[in-house]
Chain A
Amino acid sequence: MPWMRRLLNTLWRRTLDREIEDELQFHLELRATDLQRAGMSAHEARRQARRMLGNELSLRDRTREAEIWVRLETALQDLRYAARILWRAPLFTIAATLTLAIGIGVNTAMFAVVYGVLIRPLPYADADRLYLLFQTSGRAGRTRLTPLDFIDLQAQVHSMRIAAVAGNGFTFTGQGDPELAVGHLVSGEFFNLLGAKPALGRTFGTADEATGNSDLIVLSHRFWQRRFGGDPDIVGRRITANNRSLTVVGVMKPDFSYQGTRYQFWVPLPLRGPNPDKVPINRSARYMQVLAKLNAGVSRDAAAAELQSAAASLAQAYPDSDRNMSFILSSLTEETVGSIRDALKLLSAAVLLVLLIACSNVASLLLARFAKRRTEVVVRAALGASRARLLRQFVIETLVLYSMGTVAGILLAMSLLDLLRTMGPDAIPRVTDVALAMPVLAFTCVTSLFAALVFGLVPALPATRGFSGSGMSRTATADRTHQRVRATIVVAQIAVALCLLAGASLVARSLVNLQHVNKGFDPEGRLTFNVVMPATRFPDAPAMHAFYTQLVDTIAARPEFTSVGTTTAFPLSGQDLENGFAVDGYAAAAPDQEPVAALRGVSPGYTTAMGIPIRAGRALTSADDQRGAPVALVNETFVRRFFGGRNPIGGRISVGGPDGPWRTVVGVVADVRHRALATESRPEVLLPWVQMDADFLTAWGRGISFVVRSHLELTAAAGLLRSQMRDLDANTPIIDLQPVSALVDQSAAGPRFRTFLLSSFALTSVCLAAVGIFGVLSYVVSERTREIGIRMALGARQSTIFRDVFAVGGSLVAIGSVLGLAGGVALTQWIRGLLFQVSPSDPATLAAATVGLMVVAMLAALIPARRATRVNPVMALRS
């Protein structure tokens, strides 16, 4: 392979040099011998032989060149030279490398996130054909499906296969402490659709569904490791959960998870067989998440069309529950990562700007350095170096710097990713998929190389221009070009930094707004925890009621706790359930205006304990029990939407349909931000838990969220609660015990996370821009030392000198700020979707960002300006 040989010869030139030397020596000897034979003296023969060889040096070079890569060799020469030059200026080299490392590091980390979260397909077979299926009745928004609708739909559709999934908590007993863990109840097709293979044993499927055996469980790898110590003989063992005996049929692989690692096991959903957990199988409870996999070759439109006709036939068959119903397909990928896409795009744009500033800083530094090497350039040009050769030399120096910056940047990215993973789980979906994979590193290298070439040429072009004819003397024109380029760079940096700072300020402002949004409840001084009452221990509603009333009373009896309440769906916890209603006196003007509202069962003390204001009427009392008249509370949105201008108090509503039973609205509560802090409230109905339908309670009333208000310090209050619960019932774990404020914080994790990142990026860019100004002005001062010295000798005041230098910086900052402000106003329109209660062109925020940047920039200009005033005229004139 010739290229291989050339490469080796280029890298190990000594062997080749020696061979050529030997070969030529041999030639000379033979020639000399022949000449001697022809009659020459030995001495003369040798001389003649050499003469006939011609220019030996050039011959050797040309011979060698036949065997090497000339380009590579000159590149290696340049490289050695560049390394020497950089080695001799360690301060500059370190500063430039660090600057680049920051720019490249944040880009690498950010791209690792983008790649892991957005680009890489979900870790399931044919992930592009996986969808989630929702049902909708227009304005009510999309909801999950009811079990019976799911069963009917499964029989009707042929363009896709579907599986039902419902999250559920199981209390595991029998080995170690009782533990409540969350898992999924899934129908037969589930594992098949995801193409998921177990690590041990098997999964369960449609065959098991057919036999009606639902006492099976598949464990996640982590759960198996944690609770069962990684027991290799676990398959076939029977374990106890919810007082049921379940057979472990398999363990999934470590990397398998569905909707997050908090779901730790999978149990068959008893759609047809016996139903020990009393999972509701009806046509009113919309709790089935439906996973759909389109058959190969079926388009989304074709699938949607089939779903529409299925919806129509269901609506015809079950007009009470399914009229106006239609189905929506939403890609699983979109459902998983869609929420973060905009934020990641914004952050990617931000890091790109940071890189831009970092690179231009280095370009600016290089420009100054190259300018100082003018003499070297002229000498080399005089000795015959072409401009291309000189350019290449400078670009290679830049490349060496960038290579070092890239290596340092990748190291930085590694620690940034570690940080990200610890902050991440609440803020980014799929954060466990984020890693420095090969494509990420390739992206980094390509980006750096591209940046090195572009930003290497910026300083190299002026450095190698205009030397012909001017000899060794420095030309004023060339210096002016340098200054202009550097000034442009600084202006651009200021502008870009201001754009970033403006964006970050707006996002930060949104976060503050979000944290101060009227949540509809008061999180301070309150604890929340969950209790689950498994069907196997509490078979019916009275048993559950007795247990939980006992809990409430025990807590209420302690003077440390001022109030206590319970609900079936705690705000910001992710629990929610929507139901259809009938409202007396309200007729839907259009099918999409049917009354649908979130339904919660609460205890009488709930609104007080939670701090939810009563806007009209009264709160629930203990008289609102089984014997009392059926009552309900509704929220303000419900009143606005379904009561029009009428007085809601005394109005009647009915859960389910017009056939009653009718309930009287006795109070209106404030709107609570239930789903997310930034999400407007939806219509809500609060019923007394004890008055709810027994079937509903055995299905939905089993998980109860408590809220306890205490004047104790919260950790002390939590300890007290724990010990009380243990005394009361050692077999019922209390879970998710935390301050309500923690839940609020968690709900703002995403916005806080991107605010944190964006602000760090913006601050980094501001610092880099400040360094840029500092560098340029320092250079100006050092270039004009003589001039300043003369002026001072002629009597110029220090303040005049200071003002002159400072003005240079000031004008750059001013121009940059104006451009940046204009750019910022244009760019921030794009992030409208990420803002909360602040306009993208909010004058106060933009003004604050501008002033902040200008202050920092002016501080950076101060130091060189002061240095200018300290120029010693005598020294300056002598030098």
Chain B
Amino acid sequence: MSKGSPSLPYGTLDLLVLRTLAGGAQHGYGILLQIHEASGNLLRIEEGSLYPALHRLETSGLLKAEWMTSENNRRAKYYGLTARGRRQLAEEERNWERVAEGVSRVLRFT
């Protein structure tokens, strides 16, 4: 575990994965990198949590997976959002904003 990255609040990983995949289908390693970059190198997702999460989201129908040929000509498993996944993303984004705003208000107030 990288000492510099803050730990993710519980349940945030799903949101990040869904958000990342909203930009297009991606394999596991790609998702990892994208989150790292998009967070300005602040957030680092562990492989140990990413893959179980991907499979869980896939089984519950939020993601669909497909084996495709990657840029380096290898077979790779690409994950993309399903319609349900999109709806779930929208909802979780709203939730997150409200929670984040609430939390920061409390932090400022006290």
Interface residues of A (CB under 8 A from B): 2, 5-6, 19-20, 22-24, 26-27, 29-31, 33, 52-55, 58-59, 62-67
B51 cross-chain contacts in A, Cβ below 8 A: 20, 23-24, 27, 59, 62-63
A26 cross-chain contacts in B, Cβ below 8 A: 27-29, 70, 74-77
Partner of A23 from the list B28, B46, B60 (CB cut-off 8 Å) is: B28
Tell whether A27 pairs with B52 under 8 Å between CB atoms, given A5-B59, A52-B47, A66-B59: no
Chain A to chain B: the 7 pairs with minimum beta-carbon distance, closest first = A66-B55, A66-B56, A54-B48, A62-B52, A30-B29, A63-B51, A27-B29
**How far is the CB of A391 from the nearest CB of chain B, in Å?**
29
Given contact pairs A26-B76, A66-B56, a sample of 4 additional A-B residue pairs in the complex whose CB atoms are under 8 Å apart: A27-B27, A54-B46, A58-B48, A66-B53
- A20 CA / B51 CA spacing, docked (Å): 9
A67 touches B59 (CB 8 A): yes
B77 touches A19 (CB 8 A): yes
B76 cross-chain contacts in A, Cβ below 8 A: 23, 26
Interface residues on B, range: 20 to 34
- A26 CA / B59 CA spacing, docked (Å): 21
Tell whether A59 pairs with B29 under 8 Å between CB atoms, given A2-B59, A26-B70, A29-B74: no
Task: Show 19 residue pairs from A and B whose CB-CB distance is below 8 angstroms, ordered by the A residue.
Answer: A2-B60, A19-B77, A22-B77, A23-B51, A23-B76, A24-B51, A26-B29, A27-B27, A27-B29, A27-B47, A27-B51, A30-B29, A33-B72, A53-B47, A53-B48, A58-B48, A66-B53, A66-B56, A67-B56
| Number of residue pairs A-B, CB distance < 8 angstroms | 63
**How far is the CB of B84 from the nearest CB of chain A, in Å?**
11
**How far is the CB of A81 from the nearest CB of chain B, in Å?**
27
Partner of A6 from the list B28, B46, B59, B75 (CB cut-off 8 Å) is: B59
Residue B61 at the A interface, CB < 8 A? yes
Partner of A66 from the list B27, B47, B52, B70 (CB cut-off 8 Å) is: B52
- A231 CA / B58 CA spacing, docked (Å): 66
For B71-89 the 0/1 string (1 means CB < 8 A from A) is 0101111000000000000
Residue of B nearest to A24 (CB): B51
Chain B, 67-110, CB within 8 A of any chain A CB: 70, 72, 74-77
B46 cross-chain contacts in A, Cβ below 8 A: 54
Residue of A nearest to B75 (CB): A22
- A218 CA / B48 CA spacing, docked (Å): 81
A63 cross-chain contacts in B, Cβ below 8 A: 51-52, 55
Q: Chain A: interface secondary structure?
A: helix
**How far is the CB of A15 from the nearest CB of chain B, in Å?**
12
Partner of A31 from the list B29, B60, B70, B75 (CB cut-off 8 Å) is: B29
Residue of B nearest to A2 (CB): B59
Most chain A beta-carbon contacts within 10 A, residue among B27, B48, B77:
B48
A59 touches B77 (CB 8 A): no
- A33 CA / B29 CA spacing, docked (Å): 12
- A59 CA / B75 CA spacing, docked (Å): 21
A67 touches B55 (CB 8 A): yes
B61 cross-chain contacts in A, Cβ below 8 A: 2
A30 cross-chain contacts in B, Cβ below 8 A: 29, 72
A55 touches B28 (CB 8 A): no
**How far is the CB of B44 from the nearest CB of chain A, in Å?**
10
**How far is the CB of B18 from the nearest CB of chain A, in Å?**
16
Chain B, 1-50, CB within 8 A of any chain A CB: 27-29, 46-48
**How far is the CB of A751 from the nearest CB of chain B, in Å?**
64
A23 touches B77 (CB 8 A): yes
A65 cross-chain contacts in B, Cβ below 8 A: 52
**How far is the CB of A14 from the nearest CB of chain B, in Å?**
16
- A53 CA / B28 CA spacing, docked (Å): 12
Most chain A beta-carbon contacts within 10 A, residue among B27, B47, B56, B60:
B47
B55 touches A59 (CB 8 A): no
- A20 CA / B53 CA spacing, docked (Å): 13
- A55 CA / B48 CA spacing, docked (Å): 8
**How far is the CB of A1 from the nearest CB of chain B, in Å?**
9
**How far is the CB of A27 from the nearest CB of chain B, in Å?**
5
**How far is the CB of A60 from the nearest CB of chain B, in Å?**
9
- A19 CA / B55 CA spacing, docked (Å): 11
A20 cross-chain contacts in B, Cβ below 8 A: 51, 55
A27 cross-chain contacts in B, Cβ below 8 A: 27-29, 47, 51
- A6 CA / B58 CA spacing, docked (Å): 11
Residue of B nearest to A53 (CB): B47
**How far is the CB of A540 from the nearest CB of chain B, in Å?**
90
B56 cross-chain contacts in A, Cβ below 8 A: 66-67
- A2 CA / B59 CA spacing, docked (Å): 6
- A53 CA / B52 CA spacing, docked (Å): 13
- A6 CA / B48 CA spacing, docked (Å): 21
- A363 CA / B40 CA spacing, docked (Å): 66
A54 cross-chain contacts in B, Cβ below 8 A: 46-48
- A20 CA / B74 CA spacing, docked (Å): 15
A2 cross-chain contacts in B, Cβ below 8 A: 59-61
- A5 CA / B64 CA spacing, docked (Å): 13
- A399 CA / B61 CA spacing, docked (Å): 35
- A24 CA / B48 CA spacing, docked (Å): 11
- A19 CA / B59 CA spacing, docked (Å): 14
- A22 CA / B59 CA spacing, docked (Å): 18
A64 cross-chain contacts in B, Cβ below 8 A: 55
Residue of A nearest to B46 (CB): A54
A59 cross-chain contacts in B, Cβ below 8 A: 47-48, 51-52
- A154 CA / B74 CA spacing, docked (Å): 90
- A59 CA / B29 CA spacing, docked (Å): 15
- A67 CA / B57 CA spacing, docked (Å): 10
- A55 CA / B59 CA spacing, docked (Å): 23
- A23 CA / B30 CA spacing, docked (Å): 12
B70 cross-chain contacts in A, Cβ below 8 A: 26
A33 cross-chain contacts in B, Cβ below 8 A: 72
Residue of B nearest to A55 (CB): B48
**How far is the CB of A72 from the nearest CB of chain B, in Å?**
14
- A825 CA / B47 CA spacing, docked (Å): 73
- A65 CA / B70 CA spacing, docked (Å): 26
- A66 CA / B61 CA spacing, docked (Å): 12
B53 cross-chain contacts in A, Cβ below 8 A: 66
Residue of A nearest to B71 (CB): A30
Residue of B nearest to A29 (CB): B74
- A5 CA / B55 CA spacing, docked (Å): 12
B29 cross-chain contacts in A, Cβ below 8 A: 26-27, 30-31
- A654 CA / B74 CA spacing, docked (Å): 112
- A481 CA / B60 CA spacing, docked (Å): 48
**How far is the CB of B109 from the nearest CB of chain A, in Å?**
39
**How far is the CB of B6 from the nearest CB of chain A, in Å?**
18
A24 cross-chain contacts in B, Cβ below 8 A: 51
**How far is the CB of A797 from the nearest CB of chain B, in Å?**
71
**How far is the CB of B73 from the nearest CB of chain A, in Å?**
11
Residue of B nearest to A25 (CB): B74
B77 cross-chain contacts in A, Cβ below 8 A: 19, 22-23, 26
Residue of A nearest to B47 (CB): A53
- A373 CA / B70 CA spacing, docked (Å): 54
- A66 CA / B75 CA spacing, docked (Å): 22
B59 cross-chain contacts in A, Cβ below 8 A: 2, 5-6, 66-67
- A26 CA / B79 CA spacing, docked (Å): 14
- A22 CA / B27 CA spacing, docked (Å): 12
**How far is the CB of A54 from the nearest CB of chain B, in Å?**
4
**How far is the CB of B29 from the nearest CB of chain A, in Å?**
4
Residue of A nearest to B30 (CB): A30
A66 cross-chain contacts in B, Cβ below 8 A: 52-53, 55-56, 59
**How far is the CB of A861 from the nearest CB of chain B, in Å?**
59
Residue of A nearest to B53 (CB): A66
**How far is the CB of A18 from the nearest CB of chain B, in Å?**
11
**How far is the CB of B74 from the nearest CB of chain A, in Å?**
6
A19 cross-chain contacts in B, Cβ below 8 A: 77
- A698 CA / B55 CA spacing, docked (Å): 91
Residue of A nearest to B44 (CB): A52
Residue of A nearest to B76 (CB): A26
Residue of A nearest to B27 (CB): A26
**How far is the CB of A238 from the nearest CB of chain B, in Å?**
72
